[in-house]
Amino acid sequence: FPIILILSGYGLKAIIINSTDKDKKIILSVFGTGLATIVLVLLTYSSFSFTSTNEAGQYDANTLNLLKEVRQELLAVDIKNLLIIMLIATGMVTAFLFRKIKVSLFVVSILLLSAIELFMISKKAYSIIPLNNTEQLENSVFKQTPINKVLSSTKDDMRAIVLGRDFTSNNYAYFYPLISGYSAIKLQIIQDVIEHNLYAAQSADKINWNIINMLSGKFIIVPAQLNYPFLTFTAKDDEKKEVLYTNSNALPKAWFVKDVKKMKSSEDIVLFMNNSEFKPDSVALVLESDSVEKTNYDGRGNIKLVDHNPNFIELEVQSENQQFLVLSEIYYPKGWIAKLDDKELKIHQVNHILRGVEIPAGKYKLTFEFAPPTYYSSLTYLWIGNILILGLILIPGILMLMKKKKV
């Protein structure tokens, strides 16, 4: 969008300052082509499909026809508005090129026309999406369903996962943290687990419950009924045909394990997590190259979550013996710092995607903080740049005032 604004400014400048008699034909032909294209769309838009192949499989014929009619009507209104704006803009440009109006009137009219168009678009957006009314927005976009009510009323630090056709949907994330969902910037280690673990268990349904459990998957949302002793029916959405279960085997935000198992490669770790022998509540998998020396612990102790937000986690840990703690958060080495009573700890990559730290015997405050040096250095550069820009703006003005005083 900023690039379009910059190019528009250059285009307006070219018409005002650099246009010659030879350029008139080129400029008018460009506007003429634009008008012709809009008219062509206006004459042929009724032949457009207005529905996708996915929608054809989701809705019946009556619903599809209704969708098509609504979309046709919306497009027709937009095309007509665009045609009117283009006709006025072409008229103003033509009048200016043939010196019928002054530069000031031309610039003001173009800016006014742009403002009117932006107002029309904004008004339409606000009529569809009421951004200024949170309650209305929630009712229209995030409708309350039996499942949503359970998720939004649950206040803890666990997660939900959607299994099935809506795995990549982020809708439920508005109400509760999600394991599933779409992200264009997710790490490769997350994709590895999705592709090679989540549906690769050595069981009939292939669902790897160990992965879901170690990611604190308390709520399971599925399009069909599941029969497992550790799942409790919680809610049902008849409209979306989805069922919500509570998973009693879900692990908490952090826990102590009894064993640290070293493996040769990341591939070996990923494959082993599909094995029925993998028990994430008692075993942590690390690479052979990892610096963890002790591999056996008693796993006894207390962990209390004190504070948790995207950039900071605080835990109270207590144990009579040295322990190895697994944190159910994605491993990312660049920027995360672990401290035990202000003493920095090494964060180990555990189970391919999680974090682990060695905890000595005693009672401590354990914190994880995201504080990348590049972030703070970029803030410094930003302030320096702002000061320089401010100086470039103010200094010429100050010099001009000083010259006037001397005169």
Would you call 389 exposed, middle or buried from its count of C-beta atoms within 10 A (0-12, 13-18, 19+)? exposed
Retrieve residue 225's tokens: 């009924």
In this structure, how many other beta carbons lie within 10 angstroms of the beta carbon of residue 264?
Answer: 10
Name the 3-class secondary structure at 347. coil
pLDDT of 59 reads 67
Q: Is residue 56 exposed (0-12), middle (13-18) or buried (19+ Cβ within 10 Å)?
A: exposed
Distance CA 399, CA 396 (A): 5
Measure Cα distances from 337 to 254, 312, 328 in Å: 16, 10, 15
Nearest-angstrom CA–CA distance, 83 and 89:
10
d(C-alpha 167, C-alpha 227), whole Å: 20
Q: Which of 222, 226, 175 is nearest to 204 (CA)?
A: 226
Residues 224 and 243: their CA atoms lie apart, in Å, by 7
Which regions in the chain score pLDDT beneath 70? 1-2, 54, 56-59, 128-133, 137, 140, 406-407
Which pLDDT score, from 0 to 100, does residue 242 have? 94
User: What is the pTM (predicted TM-score) of this model?
Assistant: 0.69
pLDDT tens by residue, 134-191: 777 677 677 889 999 999 999 999 999 999 888 998 999 999 999 999 998 899 999 9
